[in-house]
Structure 1
Amino acid sequence: MFDFLSTLDRKLLRDLWRIKGQAAAIIFVIAAGISLFVMSHGMMVSLDETMRAYYERYRFADMYAPAKRAPDHLIEQLRALPGVNDVEGRISGGGLVALPDVSAPISARVLSFDPEARSPINNVHLSSGRMMSPTRSDEILLLKSFADAQGLGPGDPLSITMNGVRHEFMIAGLVLSPEFIYALPPGDFVPDPGRFAAIWANKETMEAAYDLDGAFNEAILTFAPGANEQFLIDELDRLLAPYGAVGAYARADQISNKFLVEELAQLKTMGRVMPPIFLAVSIFLLNVVITRLVQTEREQIGLIKAFGYSNGDVGWHYLKFVMAIALGGALVGWAGGFWLGRMIGEIYQAYFHFPFLVFVADFSTLGLVLAISAFAAAAGAWFAVRSAINLTPAVAMRPPAPPKFKSGDGFFRAVSRLLDQPSRMILRRLARQPLRAILTTFGIGAAMGLSVMMRFNVNATDYMLDVSFNVIDRSDVLVTFVEPLSDKTILELQGMEGVTLVEAFRSTPVMFRHEREQYLGAITGLPDNPTLNRAVDSNLQDVEVSGDGIVLSEKLAEILGVSVGDVLTVEVREGRRPTLEIPITGLVESLIGTPAYMDMSALNRRLKEPNRVSGAYMKIDWTRRDAVYDRIKAIPLVAGVSLRREAYENFDKMIEEGPGVFRHIMTVFSIVIAAGVVYNSARIAYIERQHDLASLRVLGFTKIETGYVLLGELALLTILALPIGSALGYLIWSYIATAMSTELYQIPTIYKENGLGFAAIIVFLATAVASAFVQNDVSKIEMATALKTRD
């Protein structure tokens, strides 16, 4: 059948078929690493290319410059700034959407839009329906994700409260926008499609609703290549300062873009850390398999060389053996990575609301994974292939010299009275081949380490949710106002039926500066002894926020390079826009965002705006929530309402559908590694000791007792691997948690015993399955044939 193949190639096929189980195990281990690489690399490229194309096609703004009220004629002056390509002035306002079947307030952001503009900045992608008519003030465009979540479509009516006045509109079309890839309700860090609506209306409608006739309250700009970003921010702030500028910021600080960029960074981290672990294990497995093959084929190697084959022919033969396995792993991994990438791509497209997202895993990626697999194969086989090349025919055709076993004799004499004979056989073999035992233990430990790491990831997520929503923020409802209001507004909230506790806060946008570092953020003013929204330290104990000092989150202090006792320069971006020098009096734990806290009275005093509040945290009687919601929706200057219980559930859902998918994939892959290492180790031990096992059967050992001699060694190595796997999991998770922490989310390095127990169970199950297959081989030993085999 294979007459067209050379003699060595036919031998290669026979050898591969003979160890098909071991080869398959190694192929799947290699495939796991390659799949992760293809998925993460392809997803990263796909998201990056999609983001770039989407931003470019729909002219996503490079900079935003909010203000209170700037005249339209200022646009030409802004357009004349060096490096500016185009400028548009628009009106942006908050609002509340009222739906007949939804009692909870729904936050909205309403933007002016010119449907007749040929190529507007921050253009929208029409998904269904039509563009709104420029002559109809009652038509709007609605963000598709919100419409889908609420069952709305073109032609449906929609009631929106803007600036305290209720307006009735008709939905002309559903759209997607690069500005709302990651659509966040005010006060939330988690997208909730059904609780946040982005709406586009004619400018005349917006001018009337927000009393901005002939004016705008936000400039959006695009740059020419090479534009000086910081210069433009400074110039925009200067030109818009007389009109209540809040502070210009670049695309990098636009919240939707920021989340997307950090998602790309996390994918890059995943692709950098995980595949090398799998490939390192596959190198180990290939080394063990090819070394054993060369040892058992010494006589064949001698005969091959005696028949005239060169050292190069022999070396190339065994190198092709491992390359065939590596090629199989690469192809399976590429196909698996492509499938996983398509699956993850569908999740990302629904999650980030792209109009298009095509997973990219082209043939250049296939070439790359083939090269990676070839390198892994060559690295794993190098020493064994070199030993095959160096064997001379005379030496190869003689049996290898028996090894000398002396180092463990004293030890075994000491413990011989404590163990039965099969157990002494197990320990003696481990002591006589310590390197193989150590490598096998580390291979099993690596598999356990991945499981430990993924379980620690689950623990960290649970900790983030608990601390953020049960320890720091213990409210039910967060209400934010369009602008700071008199603290008498709090009395109105406190008087609502069903409200049990109200806690005001003051928030102001600022630019933090320290030496060369700067950060655009906000200061939150807290009341005395807060209970609903607290500042806590790393031990989750209350941090006192009092006096004229500022308390920073540890992440913000790290970004600015400051510590307690330093003085921070704070440029306020609203009101009188003062520049303040504030001492740092403490650091707090924060797992979401980069908050900074001050005493609310001290902050208002510094701003020279006494008795002002930006919103309130509320505790309510959950059975009367509908009445509370109705009263909140009637307050004219409410910018947004966040429901903390829903925020918690959305955050949990986001983690489960995003990182949670990776956790499940990694758990499956860790099982593959464990099974691959254990099965290969057991099979090699079986092949090496087939003669001994047959002798035991002849001497009267039962199949179970014979299997115990072989598999007891494997069980002991698995037990020894547990502390190694625990340590590796600890180290891997510590690195990943640090590498994947961002300004938006700080991943805690939480270590719990249940993570170790879960991983140990996975390893033991993999060992049990692999042992069952090998025990089946032990039961089928042909004693006569095995005893004739030459060692």
Structure 2
Amino acid sequence: MSPLDHKLLRDLWRMKGQAFAIGMVIAVGVGMLVMMTGLVTSLKETRAAYYERYRLADVFAPVTRAPDRMAGRLAAIEGVSAVEPRVVGAALIDLIDTDLPVQAQAVSLPDFHSPRLNDVFLTDGRMIDSSHTDEILLLQSFANVHGLRPGDHIQATMNGARRSFRIVGLAQSPEFLYTTAPGELIPDDARFGVIWMSRSALAAAYDMQGAFNEALLSLSRGASEAAVLDAVDRLLGSYGGTGAYPLKDQMSNLFVSQEIGELETSSKVVPPIFLAVAAFLLYIVINRMVQSEREEIGLMKAFGYTNIEVVAHYFKLVMAIAIGGALAGCLMGIASGRALIQVYVAYFKFPFLVFDLDPASFVIGVSVSILSASVGGLLVLRRVFGLTPASAMRAPAPADYSRTGTIGHALNRFLDQTSRMVLRRITRQPARMAGAVIGIACGMALSVSIITIYAGFDRIIDLTFNVMDRSDVTVSFTHAASDTTIFELRRMQGVTLVEPVRYVPVVLRHGLISRRSVITGLSSDARLVRALDADLAKIPLQNGGIVLASALADILHIRPGDMMTVEVREGRQPALQIPVTAVAESLLGSPAYMDLNALNRVLREPNRVSGAYLTIDKARASKIYTALQDMPTVAGVSLKSDAEIAFKVLLDTGAGAIRYVMGAIAFIITFGIVYNAARIAYAERSRDLASLRVIGFTKGEAAFVLLGELAIVTLIALPLGALMGYYLSFGIAAGFSSEIYQIPVVFDSASYGFAAIVVIGAAVASGWLVKRDIDRAELVSALKTRE
């Protein structure tokens, strides 16, 4: 081992605390990049493998009732490789552990063979026997919540008749990764289930013998999806087809894709921010560290080492820290990604895991770390190498503190000696102090932005369930019923307020852009569920126009005053031209609103409703639920309190859970930045502090000279960091937002105050660690020049 390599090891050991802090800042930035890109890659690969293995359909074609012979005509469409006709229907499951009937979807399976499309994965028990009409498979996640196992019996209402079934197996399906009750956005395994039955048994229950009400199609490679959809609609139109749609618009796949897309967006937006902060900090640290080695560089050149050899020595030092931090970050990213992927697999109900990593994330993370470290070191070394050995070994000329300026001169009369030392260093080395201020401000900005995002998630819950929706219960009907049903609800004892609503499935078109959606018809005097603007003021539903949620308006690239084509997907299925009158604020989903009477008028279906919002007397809740269950037109009942709990689980277990990881990483980076600033200042002034001790200053006075500087730099950085955090919050909020929920940027004094406490706490802890080293320093050793 050469003498320079011996020196390298000694230097690394001497500055182990500082090197570790720098390495951790690099590691968390690289780790976040590796973790998030790995999660995106793994989820995409797992989803693709699951869809392929269990043959998820490419096209879904719902229809009112089509004869089985139509399956052959659908299979003859150019580009169609397989067709699976089936029967589906709504059901209500009666359970002992809940007062409300639970909504479910019944799905048929072929009697004598496995499904050609949308196969199921059996997790427990056995497959159904078509000769036993009471045997069913039950969705595993639903069964687990309610403690149901193979061999248990349940009661369910199908097509108005109550039946008893025996569970013979539990299953999962790629079609039901994300399960929500009809008309809802929030998944809740406790409130929605899936039942699989034999085709003959389910057809008998829904009077579908010899017919089907949904066709599944797979497409051959190179097939035109649009042409197939048009052909399917032409064939099924006369049988009540409501419009075929591709896999990308299938409810479960749509939400899973949006969640993965949100995570992918976050992986492109958030890690670069953290890596940029880490790279900037690394540049400042390396810059000042190499400057502090000026005398050693001159000594090495005096002993005959060439510039190339000295460059290689310091480059090794920089690379040891940078590469060590980057590799640690890669390992941290792999470990955290493997831990979080299990959460996502459970959340999305994948039956298996295909864990994969994106090699590009390792290359980018390591490259950014090495590049930033190299630039920081080489820029400083270039200036030092221009000096002769004698000039480099000579200490730089001391700063001229004789002219402290007007402010310094005015303050000198009020400051003691140590305070004047602090002031002089800050005023006479503004560039160096600015670097420290910006570094700590970056830490403050990260803390502010993350805490703001936390507040934004809380704001979603508060506005959605306390301001925008003030109902207690939502009742959905089996079909668009007469509004006399509303009078029946109002007559129930314990029901204090009832507001009608109508849901109409549509395809919204603006130019070349289209979107499947649902128009929500509200009464003009609605008080429970309202369309609100950005200031939370009620938007009047008037003139037969439509009000779009801001997220939906952005997707369609449409603004108030524009005309929009609305293709209705029920009943007569008219195509309407409706103006957009306003854009509403919506933090959950992307709804579209119309006045209920105007909606019924354009549909030529007066006095029709498909549900109602209720407020109830909690003391009579159980009796109200029983009465609702006995109403033949009621398809489902959901409680807002249950939806709020499910939404909180969604935010904490989906892509939103990443915010907690980001919070921990932001804290580590913030502490690393402040600690490095303190350590660098101590490394630069260790001889000066030792000299102060020799001439009679106490330990406390010597430490004040250093820590006073850190305190002032930290206080100056707080407002700058708060301003940087303000703008950074919008970028991170955009990375977290999706069509499912939109994260508002919420600024309040508490967020800034807490972020300031985090930074000040990091400064106090760093100051304590540095002061401990100051107190332990041996004066003779500190005053010596290192070999």
Give the alignment's TM-score, normalised by structure 1: 0.96
CA RMSD between the two structures:
2.1
Deviations 1:706-750 (A, max 9, x none): 222111111111111111221222212111223433322222222
1:22 aligns with 18
Confirm or deny that 1:325 pairs with 2:321.
yes
Q: 84, 88, 100: which one pairs with 1:88?
A: 84
Q: Distance in 2 between matches of 1:41 and 1:501?
A: 49
Q: 132, 143, 149: which one pairs with 2:145?
A: 149
Tell me if structure 2 keeps the 8 A contact 1:674–1:767.
no
Q: More deviation in 173-182 or 227-236?
A: 227-236
Amino acid at match of 2:740: L
Tell me if structure 2 keeps the 8 A contact 1:246–1:509.
no
Q: Distance in 2 between matches of 1:455 and 1:363?
A: 31
Give the deviation of 1:442 after TM superposition: 1.4
1:776 aligns with 772
Tell me if structure 1 keeps the 8 A contact 2:121–2:171.
yes
Confirm or deny that 1:514 pairs with 2:516.
no
SS of the equivalent of 1:613 reads strand
Deviations 1:464-490 (A, max 9, x none): 112211112111111112221111222
SS of the equivalent of 2:467 reads helix
Q: More deviation in 376-385 or 191-200?
A: 376-385
Matched residue pairs, number? 787
Deviations 1:326-349 (A, max 9, x none): 122122212221221122112112
- Shift in alpha-carbon separation, 1:719–1:399, aligned structure 2, 3 A: closer
Q: 155, 160, 165: which one pairs with 2:161?
A: 165
Deviations 1:62-121 (A, max 9, x none): 121111111111111111222212111111111111012321221101111126434521
1:337 aligns with 333
Tell me if structure 2 keeps the 8 A contact 1:95–1:638.
no
Confirm or deny that 1:415 pairs with 2:411.
yes
Q: Distance in 1 between matches of 2:413 and 2:393?
A: 41
1:607 aligns with 603
Tell me if structure 2 keeps the 8 A contact 1:109–1:199.
yes
Tell me if structure 1 keeps the 8 A contact 2:41–2:358.
no
Confirm or deny that 1:109 pairs with 2:105.
yes
Q: Distance in 2 between matches of 1:7 and 1:783?
A: 26
2:554 aligns with 558
Tell me if structure 2 keeps the 8 A contact 1:79–1:85.
yes
Amino acid at match of 2:209: D
Q: 246, 264, 267: which one pairs with 1:250?
A: 246
Confirm or deny that 1:264 pairs with 2:260.
yes
Give the deviation of 1:695 after TM superposition: 3.1
Q: Distance in 1 between matches of 2:399 and 2:405?
A: 14
Amino acid at match of 1:453: S
Confirm or deny that 1:530 pairs with 2:530.
no
- Shift in alpha-carbon separation, 1:707–1:326, aligned structure 2, 3 A: same
Tell me if structure 2 keeps the 8 A contact 1:284–1:380.
no
Tell me if structure 1 keeps the 8 A contact 2:8–2:313.
yes
- Shift in alpha-carbon separation, 1:273–1:362, aligned structure 2, 3 A: closer
Give the deviation of 1:362 after TM superposition: 7.7
- Shift in alpha-carbon separation, 1:14–1:582, aligned structure 2, 3 A: same
Q: More deviation in 366-375 or 528-537?
A: 366-375
Amino acid at match of 2:697: F
Q: 307, 311, 327: which one pairs with 1:311?
A: 307
Amino acid at match of 1:179: E
1:232 aligns with 228
- Shift in alpha-carbon separation, 1:571–1:713, aligned structure 2, 3 A: same
Tell me if structure 1 keeps the 8 A contact 2:656–2:736.
no
Q: More deviation in 292-301 or 764-773?
A: 292-301
Q: Distance in 1 between matches of 2:142 and 2:182?
A: 15
Q: More deviation in 545-554 or 353-362?
A: 353-362
- Shift in alpha-carbon separation, 1:588–1:280, aligned structure 2, 3 A: closer
Q: More deviation in 41-50 or 568-577?
A: 568-577
1:684 aligns with 680
Q: 402, 426, 435: which one pairs with 1:439?
A: 435
Tell me if structure 1 keeps the 8 A contact 2:109–2:115.
no
Q: 662, 665, 690: which one pairs with 2:661?
A: 665
Equivalent residues in 2 for 1:430-579, closer than 5 Å: 430-579=426-575
Q: 167, 170, 175: which one pairs with 1:174?
A: 170
Give the alignment's TM-score, normalised by structure 2: 0.96
1:640 aligns with 636
Deviations 1:47-69 (A, max 9, x none): 01000100111111112111111
Q: More deviation in 52-61 or 360-369?
A: 360-369
SS of the equivalent of 2:38 reads helix
SS of the equivalent of 1:624 reads helix
Tell me if structure 2 keeps the 8 A contact 1:451–1:666.
no
Deviations 1:576-613 (A, max 9, x none): 11111112222211111221111111111111111111
Amino acid at match of 1:661: A
Equivalent residues in 2 for 1:379-418, closer than 5 Å: 379-404=375-400, 408-418=404-414
Q: Distance in 2 between matches of 1:645 and 1:248?
A: 35
SS of the equivalent of 2:99 reads strand
Deviations 1:333-382 (A, max 9, x none): 12221221122112112211110124334877655543343233223323
Q: Distance in 1 between matches of 2:194 and 2:659?
A: 32
Give the deviation of 1:184 after TM superposition: 1.0
SS of the equivalent of 2:128 reads coil
Q: More deviation in 401-410 or 96-105?
A: 401-410
Q: Which runs of 5+ in 2 are unaligned?
A: none
Q: 63, 69, 72: which one pairs with 1:76?
A: 72
Q: Which runs of 5+ in 1 are unaligned?
A: none
Tell me if structure 1 keeps the 8 A contact 2:84–2:115.
no
Deviations 1:143-194 (A, max 9, x none): 1000110001111111111111111111111111111111112232211111
Q: Distance in 2 between matches of 1:609 and 1:546?
A: 18
- Shift in alpha-carbon separation, 1:296–1:543, aligned structure 2, 3 A: closer
2:369 aligns with 373
Q: Distance in 1 between matches of 2:552 and 2:289?
A: 57
Tell me if structure 1 keeps the 8 A contact 2:104–2:194.
yes
Confirm or deny that 1:622 pairs with 2:612.
no
Tell me if structure 1 keeps the 8 A contact 2:481–2:608.
yes
2:343 aligns with 347
- Shift in alpha-carbon separation, 1:560–1:277, aligned structure 2, 3 A: closer
Give the deviation of 1:123 after TM superposition: 0.8
Q: Distance in 2 between matches of 1:313 and 1:213?
A: 87
2:27 aligns with 31
Q: More deviation in 484-493 or 127-136?
A: 484-493
- Shift in alpha-carbon separation, 1:187–1:87, aligned structure 2, 3 A: same
Q: More deviation in 387-396 or 70-79?
A: 387-396
Equivalent residues in 2 for 1:714-753, closer than 5 Å: 714-753=710-749
Deviations 1:472-509 (A, max 9, x none): 21111111122211112222222333322221111111
Q: More deviation in 658-667 or 13-22?
A: 658-667
Tell me if structure 2 keeps the 8 A contact 1:509–1:572.
yes
2:271 aligns with 275
